[in-house]
């Protein structure tokens, strides 16, 4: 996983050199990138499993209305610098960890017939795992308290009978939600936003990588027993 990161990072730096956006936009993106990178450094001591997982994802700040908040294609994490700027460190770290675990669990390709429900179910399971890692979840985070121990596929089935599904809103965005053309010609579009469609091979590569890391951290306090059990059966 690490080899691809070097290539992507070099590509991002090359794009930055030729970028013609205004100085204020560049400064904001550079400032937020530094913060997101420092959050990974924070994890080296506090949550090294998350740091190891995140190392396989290139951080790319953008100013793009298609992203709005943050997304991942399984290769990079794209986050809107305008959205990120007012976040405190706790919320920012939660968001990066959440996107990282989307990749770690292979939650990148929802069924097109019920993609909204799959996204909610995935977010619920990911947020349940982050709670077990000691994260403070923002009030906007998707979490169904009666279903905290349940895996995503069971939560998805439960959501089929949810009485007010329209009230549940995810913070992050999936790849497919970011590539829909925007209605306004005045929308902000960033040339740094160049996601690649995730595929089943990438999903399996991530799951294999996560199982390997989970084995490395097994029996340590950095991998709580419920998470170790979940990852042992990751498929």
pLDDT tens digits, 62-111: 999 999 999 999 999 999 999 999 999 999 999 999 999 999 999 999 98
Q: What does residue 51 show for φ and ψ, rounded to 5 degrees?
A: -65, -45
Helix (H) or strand (E) segment spanning residue 59: strand 58-62
Helix (H) or strand (E) segment spanning residue 76: strand 76-80
Instruction: Kindly state the tokens that stand for 104.
Output: 């770690």
What is the pLDDT at residue 136? 93
Q: CA neighbours within 13 Å on the CB side: how many for 71? A: 24
Model pLDDT for residues 3-60, shown as the tens digit of each residue: 444 445 544 554 555 455 799 999 999 999 999 999 999 999 999 999 999 999 999 9
What is the pLDDT at residue 101? 98
Chain centroid to Cα 120, Å, comes to 13
Instruction: Tell me which residue has tokens 């790849």.
Output: 175
Q: What does residue 79 show for φ and ψ, rounded to 5 degrees?
A: -135, 140
- Chain length of the chain: 235
What is the pLDDT at residue 5? 45
Q: Are 132 and 226 in contact (CB under 8 A)?
A: yes
DSSP 191: T
Lowest mean pLDDT among 77-91, 156-170, 200-214: 156-170
What is the pLDDT at residue 13? 54
What is the pLDDT at residue 233? 81
Instruction: Tell me which residue has tokens 């308290």.
Output: 145
What is the pLDDT at residue 63? 96
Arithmetic mean of pLDDT over the chain: 90
Q: How far apart, in whole angstroms, are the C-alpha atoms of residue 91 and residue 136?
A: 8
**What's the mean pLDDT in 172-181?**
89
């Amino acid at each position: 996983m690490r080899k691809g990161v070097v290539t992507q990072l070099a590509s991002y730096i090359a794009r930055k050199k030729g970028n013609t956006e205004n100085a204020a936009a560049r400064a904001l993106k550079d400032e937020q990138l530094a913060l997101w990178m420092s959050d990974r450094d924070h994890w080296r001591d506090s949550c090294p499993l998350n740091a190891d997982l995140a190392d396989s994802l290139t951080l790319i700040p953008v100013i793009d209305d298609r992203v709005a908040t943050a997304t991942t294609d399984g290769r990079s994490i794209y986050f809107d610098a305008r959205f990120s700027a007012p976040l405190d460190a706790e919320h920012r770290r939660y968001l990066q960890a959440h996107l990282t675990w989307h990749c770690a669990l292979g939650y990148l390709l929802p069924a097109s017939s019920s993609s909204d429900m799959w996204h909610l179910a995935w977010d619920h399971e990911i947020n349940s795992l982050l709670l077990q890692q000691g994260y403070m979840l923002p009030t906007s985070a998707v979490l169904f308290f009666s279903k905290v121990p349940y895996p995503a596929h069971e939560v998805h089935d439960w959501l089929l009978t949810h009485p007010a599904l329209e009230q549940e809103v995810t913070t992050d965005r999936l790849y497919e939600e970011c590539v829909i053309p925007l209605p306004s010609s005045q929308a902000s579009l960033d040339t740094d936003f160049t996601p690649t469609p995730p595929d089943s091979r990438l999903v399996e590569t991530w799951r294999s990588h996560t199982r390997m890391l989970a084995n490395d951290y097994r029996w340590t306090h950095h991998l709580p027993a419920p998470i170790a059990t979940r990852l042992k059966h990751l498929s």
